[in-house]
Structure 1
Amino acid sequence: MTGSEVTPSVSPSFRLAYVPGVTPAKWVRIWNERLPDVPLTLVPVSAAEASDVLRGRGADAGFLRLPVDRTDLSAIPLYSETTVVVVPKDHVVAAVDEVSAEDLADELMLHPLDDVLDWEQRPGRPAIERPATTADAIELVAAGVGLLVVPQSLARLHHRKDLTYRPVTDAPESRVALSWPEDRTTDQVEDFIGIVRGRTVNSSRGRSPAPAPAQPKHKRADTGATRRKPAAGKPTGKSPRSGSGAPKGGKRGKPRRRS
């Protein structure tokens, strides 16, 4: 390398993973406004592989669904989703505003292998085979094979004109969190945490600001005038007895002697 050659600098970047159903557009927009010199790359991942992608350095941070093993991953819970049942538009469930798990007791229910809900006991009658993905299960619902219970964001993601969905009041909810490797809490990760938490640009990293330096004490401005001490014996102001200045009527005479 000659002295005139300059090694090109590599611009930093930030990789953000996200699972199906999560829409990171708002946070990405704020990132691009605040950090235009740091490109943000979106990394779509399945819910099952999200944690491994973070551990394997495939992304700097990511939106995933709880629970997450916090042995080596940090996580900030963000919000919980309404759980819904996806049905054909001509199904009886479409005629009501919401249902309970008991209302679905006689229905054939699909349980995809990528299901993200933590059920103690799933409602309805289980289908003989489990679809590989939620997308496959949606196709079966459209074919009239069964019904599907999912977080509302997934119902929206796989929306079809011939399907609709209704809330399930007593179903478990899916919680979405921002997660990242605990040992790689970089400045960029801190910046993104601040964006997600709604901090202003001046406090986006979440660290306590450094204490302001102590202000020096300013001496009283010299106006050019000097204070003089009053001369001995001269009044300095109001008389403590009369509250006024010098006595009225000129000099006071000697007191008369009583006869």
Structure 2
Amino acid sequence: MTGSEVSPSFRLAYVPGVTPAKWVRIWNERLPGIPLHLVAVPAAEACDVLRGGGADAGFVRLPLPADRTDFSAIPLYTETTVVVVPKDHVVAAVEEVSSADLADEIVLHPLDDVIGWERPPGRPAIERPATTADAVELVAAGVGVLVVPQSLARLHHRKDLTYRPLTDAPQSRVALSWPEDATTDMVEDFIGIVRGRTVNSSRGRAQAKAEAPDKTAKTTRTAKAQPKGKRPGAGGAQRKATAGRAAGKGPRGGSGGGAKRGGGKPRRRS
């Protein structure tokens, strides 16, 4: 291998809370010759990483920033929004809560929030935590409660904390995204995996290009081998007519050895 040759690989970015293991496993089964490298990125930096070439595609959170109109995105799923509280908190005694139930609570709003609140419920903290992980530590210390997508609550799980669905809160959507001008064959392959296409359908793009000339040639050879003007089924009738003439039968089914038409004058009886 020369210095200019680089082995192909696929780089997949993902934001906190997304678990790409299922899709990575399918990729490794179908494309074992192309390694897939995972790139963990903060949610706010995902598009910059993709645009800068740090990854070929990525799992991001919607909506994309307004200046990211040159990105393609396939929405995958919408997450349940939950409120994280200490296990001895009154919220832990119910199955779900609404924003009104948090009116008297200090609701922490970290700088890396992905909910996209216009106005978070409850009372704001004196200072916004830098990260969701920092906010979780403050919840455990009894400073306030935290509203996040369920996957982030699971990611930062602690034995002394629990969470409940928040019924009327905005929800976070997860999508597969990539720059439109960088839609490579490998990106198309990964899109097929994410969309749940089978092995045959995911390979159809490459197979169609390879098989099309063979199918065309086969059709051409078949057409040339067929006698011009010959219709299917006509051969049997032709062979039957030939056999009839060989047996001495006329076209009307009579004997070929009968009297000839106009073949001499009749004899006069004496």
Q: Same fold (TM over 0.5)?
A: yes
Q: Measure the CA separation in 1 of the matches of 2:17 and 2:117.
A: 19
Asked if 1:34 corresponds to 2:53, the answer is no
Counterpart pick for 1:227 among 240, 245, 248: 240
Asked if 1:152 corresponds to 2:150, the answer is yes
- TM-fit CA distance, 1:175: 0.3
Q: Measure the CA separation in 1 of the matches of 2:185 and 2:29.
A: 17
- TM-fit CA distance, 1:110: 0.4
Counterpart pick for 1:22 among 9, 15, 18: 18
Q: Measure the CA separation in 2 of the matches of 1:200 and 1:58.
A: 28
Counterpart pick for 1:7 among 2, 6, 21: 2
Q: Which runs of 4+ in 1 moved over 4 A?
A: 205-212, 217-223
- Aligned position for 2:247: none
- Aligned position for 1:238: none
- Measured against aligned partners, the alpha-carbon deviations of 1:181-224 in whole angstroms (never above 9, x if no partner) come to 1101000000000000000122226859566647435756978x
Counterpart pick for 1:128 among 126, 129, 140: 126
- 1:51-200 matched pairs, under 5 angstroms: 51-69=47-65, 70-200=68-198
Secondary structure at the counterpart of residue 169 of structure 2: coil
**Alpha carbons of 1:151 and 1:205: their partners in 2 closer, same or farther (altered >3 Å)?**
farther
- Measured against aligned partners, the alpha-carbon deviations of 1:65-116 in whole angstroms (never above 9, x if no partner) come to 0111442211111100000000000000000000000011110110000000
Q: Measure the CA separation in 2 of the matches of 1:7 and 1:93.
A: 63
| Structure 2 segments unaligned to the other structure (5+ residues) | 227-231, 245-249, 255-270
Secondary structure at the counterpart of residue 48 of structure 1: helix
Root-mean-square deviation (CA), in Å? Answer: 2.4
Q: Measure the CA separation in 2 of the matches of 1:88 and 1:7.
A: 59
Counterpart amino acid of residue 7 in structure 1: T
Counterpart amino acid of residue 188 in structure 1: M
CA contact under 8 A between 1:11 and 1:37: conserved in structure 2?
Answer: no
Instruction: Decide which moves more: 199-208 or 57-66.
Output: 199-208
**Alpha carbons of 1:180 and 1:233: their partners in 2 closer, same or farther (altered >3 Å)?**
closer
Secondary structure at the counterpart of residue 73 of structure 2: strand
CA contact under 8 A between 1:99 and 1:167: conserved in structure 2?
Answer: yes
Q: Measure the CA separation in 1 of the matches of 2:205 and 2:61.
A: 26
Instruction: Decide which moves more: 31-40 or 209-218.
Output: 209-218
Secondary structure at the counterpart of residue 153 of structure 2: helix
Secondary structure at the counterpart of residue 65 of structure 1: strand
Counterpart amino acid of residue 241 in structure 2: R
Taking structure 2 as the reference length, the TM-score comes to 0.79
